[in-house]
Chains A and B, each alone.
Chain A
């Protein structure tokens, strides 16, 4: 064997899936029900299961996608956080009060990173003392424009010091602007920090016990990439909502997607939709929202609608509808109310479970609403597919209407025109034809779609993005998330900035033990503005964003297309 095997695990809402992949494809796979109160047990039992198919010692890497942090936030099982926020001119930070221990401090930094009003040390000390008195051990320190000048956040962390087990500084999470989002992101990071670290400790123990002590552990992120466990321990917020990303990366690893495409993951009660531009998945413009809180956590663009195989049929004012309610399983599976799958069974599109029960259910329901059974079933399938189509169109339209900031992009910008659809999930095969008819686009259903999520988790590479900000008038360069801040020469230019951003990112990754390929580094934004005062050029304001883009591990590239 040339390389070790890769283990991918996706802990989902109902099932936990695992696959082991070697260079010839899927070497083992397992599915167990997810134990809600004890995700670790689900992880252990699925590892146990695959290790009965392959030797544990040959697994060199575990990539894990888990709902741990997402669930904790949704269920409110998070730790109390002391939030210290420095606002400055503009909207009052107390409008974004996230929790009880929220302290707004005076002080201000402007858009160029210039300190315009120092922080009041006395206020800072009082805020820390108040949190301490209430037994707070987790903190978030955030100032406006900290990516342009991290000084205040660093000072806050210094003063909190030993009083905390964790202090999340806003600029350490992201170099992108958006103070309310940065506040929420830092807050959630600290709120789930302890929970995640305890889980990470426990996973480590389990792996040793199960004979996988050699395996490197990576955690899946919502952007479709992974981060090493060491990084995840510092930024657990990056592990939220990674489920849809696992499935999308699964499709990427199974099928060689090159065109503008639509991905549909049709489950029991929902359909997740994603869009690809020239084969690359589109990202949320700013970041994903946790509940009602928008954050700066990078994420693939996905939308979820309440249409799935188990969605109940209803008739309202002569209109046949599908979902969003799900009163129980399909009649074919012993349920009491007809669902989309029953309609498909009736039409002969599917042969799931007890077809006779499906037929009887559809017939009775049709009679109740004075419809012919075939008509009801057909209209139900049309309604389900129609809703998916409408949502896809709305999403594509939204993407094409995203703001741009240059005349070139406005007038010559590329529009997304999907030419292919990939479907996965339980009802994928069944809905292939109706979806083909509704969209008039070529439709593919990958062979191993049932474990696409775990395959995606196993094969996706480590991603990371950085933002560089240079100001040749102030002679300063910042790469906030890497803690880089240094003096530059007055002739520093955009070329140098592009090179520095890419190099810093690569060397950071390599220092973290992540082998990263130069060709996967992509500059996503690079601009240089002349700064003029009194008609005279005084410097350049340079901004570069660069990322290791999501995609599958290089050495498994030859698997592309073979599983599709």
Chain B
């Protein structure tokens, strides 16, 4: 009988009664064949592997991470709270010591959801990984965390949330933004002024195969992780690099995904995208499960795999090699950000965000306090075609007392003077969470 080398908890929640719309890729059927495959393989009978029910995130879990406008209840559905709760359950299994590793096979995904949420973009409303990480930081104390986003799309939401956080390393591997949604994720995007080198983007050319992905993991991701020494490694696991995925153009196989997870050795994996629900998901998810449990995944070969068709070109190999040579310095010796604007002691950015799923356009002004003692607190002024000018203020984990004080003062000031339709305060130092305006 099989026995897992690493005990593994699988939070499997296919949400068989929820879809974005009847024919949307994010529909009831998405994890059906994955469930069939895992059941038929007898995965849950393997000694050391257990299936676990998700938690349900509550509004407080969401509002520890996101500024939500007009309110959390209006930008989320119950399925979002269950997906985030599934990720939280995965982390709980690992941090309590109940399991060596955990895989949250949940939907819908979350990695395109940014700090400020006005609606749904890239099928995501709230960021499952970030809600999990902040839950962990609040309840278990772990602080230093690495997120490796292996979805084919740039994890722009997770990047946005941790842009200024020097304790969270975010690495995204994805199909080059010049050829795919959301069109971002270039090496030059490598973290805010107080967290330079803590965001690493690795854009790969279309049709990159197993070879290129694994080369990047070995030559770029592994050395950076070994240096950063995180307390937890999280794989933000999109299955859309698969050669059968209908909305992307990459050539990774199920065994490639298995090997990737073996090399990456994540403590927790959380499902992101992946919409080849028959040809890819059953096999990729099985390979990841086996690899995380330390079992042989070499037999997970897709029925329609033709090795010659998924082999990457020499040109791609050369390109990826060059990339592997250049990218590590972004972490080890990050360049200064020359585009920065600094006004009255704040770093200022203006951002335009488009919500493709909900057709919303958001405009933000972001102010980060340039503090010599800490990473600084964040002030975000935002408006969209749905929500009038609103305010979010966050004193993140690790911020100094003076910054936390100033954050709260500005929030109170906004209440007195008005001018904002909604305002939300996230004070992680004093654990004060407030909203006004409704």
Q: Are A and B a genuine interacting pair, yes or no?
A: yes
Q: Which residues of A contact B (CB under 8 A)?
A: 87, 89-92, 95-96, 108, 110-112, 116-117, 144-145, 177-181, 286, 292, 294, 401-408, 410-411, 527, 529-532, 534-537, 541
* Chain B residues within an 8 Å CB radius of A408: 17
Q: Is the CB of A536 within 8 A of B23?
A: yes
Docked pose: A33 CA to B51 CA in angstroms: 43
Flag if B53 contacts A144 (CB, 8 Å): no
Instruction: Pick the contact of B300: A90, A112, A401, A537 (CB < 8 A).
Output: A90
Task: Select from chain A the residue with minimum beta-carbon distance to B45.
Answer: A294
Q: A532–B303 contact, CB under 8 A?
A: no
| 18 intermolecular pairs with C-beta atoms under 8 Å apart | A90-B286, A108-B303, A110-B303, A294-B42, A401-B53, A403-B51, A403-B53, A405-B35, A406-B17, A408-B17, A410-B13, A410-B56, A529-B16, A529-B32, A530-B22, A534-B246, A535-B23, A536-B23
**Among A111, A530, A536, A537, contact of B28 (Cβ-Cβ < 8 Å):** A530
Per a CB cutoff under 8 Å, which of A407, A530, A536 touches B79?
A: A407
When A406-B15, A411-B78 are in contact, do A530 and B40 touch as well, CB less than 8 Å? no
B42, A180: Cβ atoms under 8 Å?
yes
Contact A541 B303 (CB under 8 A): no
Check if B54 sits within 8 Å of A144, measured CB to CB: no
* Docked-complex contact A116 and B42, CB < 8 angstroms: no
Evaluate contact between B53 and A91: CB separation under 8 angstroms: no
**Inter-chain contact B37/A111, CB cutoff 8 Å:** yes
Q: Does B290 contact A (CB under 8 A)?
A: yes
| Known A410-B56, A532-B27; contact A117-B37, beta-carbon cutoff 8 A | no
B18 interface neighbour in A179, A401, A407, A535, Cβ under 8 Å: A407
Contact with A along B1-27 (1 / 0, CB 8 A): 110000000001111111000110001
Residues of B within 8 A of A410 (CB): 13, 53-54, 56, 82
Interface secondary structure of B, over-half rule: loop
B301 within 8 A of partner (CB)? yes
Whether the Cβ atoms of A403 and B82 lie closer than 8 Å is no
Distance in angstroms from B238 CB to nearest chain A CB is 20
Q: Are B29 and A89 in contact (CB under 8 A)?
A: no
In the complex, the answer to whether A181 meets B286 with C-beta atoms within 8 Å is no
The docked-state distance in angstroms from the alpha carbon of A288 to that of B305 is 37
Q: Are B17 and A87 in contact (CB under 8 A)?
A: no
Given A111-B37, A405-B35, A407-B79, A89-B299 contact (CB < 8 Å): yes
CB pair A89–B301 under 8 Å, yes or no, is: yes
Residues of A within 8 A of B82 (CB): 407, 410-411
Closest to B2 in A: A95
Task: Verify B40–A145 contact, CB threshold 8 A.
Answer: yes
Whether A532 contacts B40 by the Cβ 8 Å rule is no
Residue among B35, B36, B302 facing the most chain A CB atoms (10 A cut-off): B36
A112 touches B15 (CB 8 A): no
Complex interface: chain A residues within 8 A of B35 (CB):
405
Known: A90-B41, A112-B278. A527 touches B16 (CB 8 A): yes
Is the pair A407, B296 in contact by a Cβ cutoff of 8 Å? no
Measured between C-beta atoms, what is the minimum distance from A499 to chain B in Å?
A: 22
* Least Cβ–Cβ distance between B382 and chain A, in angstroms: 30
User: Does B33 sit within 8 A of A, measured CB to CB?
Assistant: yes
User: A531 vs B277: C-alpha distance in the bound complex, in angstroms?
Assistant: 10
Query: Which A residues touch B310, using CB under 8 A?
Result: none
Asked whether B39 lies within 8 Å of A530 as measured between CB atoms, the reply is no
Closest residue of chain A to B28, judged by CB?
A: A529
Q: Which residues of B contact A292 (CB under 8 A)?
A: 1
Q: Is B283 an interface residue (CB 8 A)?
A: yes
B296 touches A92 (CB 8 A): yes
A117 to B27 Cα, complex, angstroms = 29
Given contacts A111-B33, A529-B28, 7 further A-B contacts (CB under 8 A): A91-B42, A111-B37, A111-B40, A177-B40, A408-B17, A530-B28, A535-B23
Which chain A residues border B53 with CB–CB below 8 Å? 401-404, 410
User: Are B299 and A403 neighbours in the complex by a CB distance under 8 Å?
Assistant: no
Q: How far is the CB of B244 from chain A (nearest CB, A)?
A: 12
Q: Are B42 and A530 in contact (CB under 8 A)?
A: no
* With A90-B286, A294-B45: A116-B296 Cβ-Cβ less than 8 Å: no
Q: Which residues of B contact A402 (CB under 8 A)?
A: 53
Q: B39, B42, B303 — which one has the most chain A CB atoms within 10 A of its CB?
A: B42
Mask of B103-126 contacts with A, CB within 8 angstroms, 1/0: 000000000000000000000000
Question: Judging by beta carbons under 8 Å apart, are A530 and B299 in contact?
Answer: no
Give A262 to B42 CA distance when docked, in angstroms. Answer: 30
- A89 to B283 CA separation, bound complex (whole angstroms): 8
Instruction: Tell whether B52 is near chain A: CB-to-CB under 8 Å.
Output: yes
- The CA-CA distance from A537 to B299 in the complex, in Å, is 32
Other-chain residue from B51, B290, B304 in contact with A91 (beta carbon distance below 8 A): B290
B282 lies within 8 A of chain A by Cβ: yes
Chain A residues closer than 8 Å to B283, beta-carbon distance = 89-90
Determine the chain B residues whose CB is within 8 A of the CB of A178 once the complex forms.
Answer: 39-40, 42, 45
Q: Are B16 and A406 in contact (CB under 8 A)?
A: yes
CB-based closest 6 A-B pairs = A116-B303, A180-B42, A111-B36, A406-B17, A177-B40, A177-B39
Q: Is the CB of B299 within 8 A of A405?
A: no
Known contacts A405-B16, A532-B27: A91-B2 contact under CB 8 Å: yes
**When the two chains form their complex, are residues A117 and B303 in contact, meaning their CB atoms are under 8 A apart?**
yes
Query: Given A89-B303, A177-B39, A530-B22: A407 and B15 within 8 A (CB)?
Result: yes
Residues on the A chain within 8 Å of B1, using CB: 95-96, 292
Chain A residue at minimum C-beta to C-beta distance from B35: A405
Known: A178-B42, A404-B53, A407-B17. A111 touches B278 (CB 8 A): yes
Task: Tell me how far the C-beta of B46 lies from the nearest C-beta in chain A, rounded to whole angstroms.
Answer: 9
Residues of chain B lying within 8 A (CB to CB) of residue A145: 36, 40
Among B17, B29, B56, B246, point to the contact of A530 (Cβ < 8 A): B29
**Least distance between B57 CB and chain A CB atoms (Å):** 12
Quick check: B29 and A531 within 8 Å, CB to CB?
yes
Contact of A111 among B22, B23, B42, B282 (CB under 8 A): B282
Instruction: Write the chain B residue with the least CB distance to A532.
Output: B23
